[in-house]
Homo-oligomer: A and B are copies of this chain.
Amino acid sequence: MDNYILKIDCDDAKGLIYKISDVLYKSDLNIVKNDEFVDSDKSRFFFRAIVSGDVANGNLVHKLEEVMPKSAKIELMKKRRKKIVIMATKESHCLGDLLLKEYSDDLNAEVVAVVSNYDYLKELVDKFEIPFHHVCHGGLSRLEHEEKVLEVLQNYEFDYIVLAKYMRILSSSFVSHFEGKMVNIHHSFLPAFIGANPYKQAFERGVKTIGATAHFVTNDLDEGPIIAQDVINVTHEFSWRDMQKAGRNVEKVVLSNALDLVLEDRVFISFNKTVIF
């Protein structure tokens, strides 16, 4: 029997868990695991369950819509391996880590393509026999370049775009195509060191910790909902190049951990925040 993931978020109200579990029980479905959270600040209810049973036959989403508030956003998904496109520029540590993890069946996703504005990473991607698309930005406006990227992406079916150190700012037009579907790794513990070369900024500020942040991409640069963060300690002995080198391990692990959560449908986006079960 297959497992399904049920995600619901809606305005908070009384009895929601009873209503959901009532529908599931009467549909002869079992809740293997459920998590629930009420954001009392926004009066919003979040629910996620792993459901086992014969989901396909009943019209489960419809039945749930009938009892839940009108505001409810209900998603019912069979557990499956997602498809991702990775965008990168020159650095290989995040990309390579994801390719290795996919290769070792340690990533709950299939990498269907890699897109880069340089060709540096082609050789590495070729080793793993994954389509690599070099979409050069030379001589093109931002929008012209993004148009070409979109043309490439149209050839693929995918669930998420992963920006694995893609070092170009994306226009709001591009971002709007992939709302809630694009995950970025930023090389600082946001909101510290927004903008260019966070490690240089960190070095100049003389901090004793550096970090990385994985977040969904929105139109507000570096302001998207945060999924995961981590830091490491540094000392006065670290040049900014040393920070950058040490930071790579944090970046790749934070991105990978964030993707694990996203790919298992554990993450809700709620305004500029995430709720993670």
Interface of A toward B, CB cutoff 8 Å: 14-15, 17-18, 21-22, 24-25, 30-41, 91-93, 96-97, 100-101, 103-104, 106, 124, 127-128, 189-193, 205-209, 211, 225-231, 233, 235-237, 239, 245, 248-249, 253, 256-257, 270, 272-276
Contact A18 B15 (CB under 8 A): no
Contact residues in B for A24 (Cβ distance below 8 Å):
18
Contact B228 A208 (CB under 8 A): yes
Contact A191 B206 (CB under 8 A): no
Tell me the complex Cα distance, A203–B232, Å: 22
Contact A206 B92 (CB under 8 A): no
Tell me the complex Cα distance, A191–B204, Å: 11
Please tell me which one of the listed residues B40, B93, B205 contacts residue A226 in the complex, with CB atoms under 8 A apart.
B205
Contact residues in B for A245 (Cβ distance below 8 Å):
106
**Shortest CB–CB separation between residue A44 and chain B, in angstroms?**
11
Tell me the complex Cα distance, A128–B267, Å: 36
Tell me the complex Cα distance, A49–B1, Å: 29
**Shortest CB–CB separation between residue A92 and chain B, in angstroms?**
5
Besides A34-B36, A39-B236, A92-B104, 9 other CB < 8 A contacts? A14-B30, A18-B31, A32-B38, A93-B100, A93-B104, A96-B104, A189-B189, A190-B192, A191-B192
Tell me the complex Cα distance, A206–B101, Å: 27
Contact residues in B for A237 (Cβ distance below 8 Å):
37
Please tell me which one of the listed residues B34, B249, B257 contacts residue A17 in the complex, with CB atoms under 8 A apart.
B34
Q: A33-B36, A38-B33 are in contact. Are A275 and B236 (CB under 8 A)?
A: yes
Contact B100 A96 (CB under 8 A): yes
Tell me the complex Cα distance, A233–B15, Å: 31
Contact residues in B for A193 (Cβ distance below 8 Å):
191
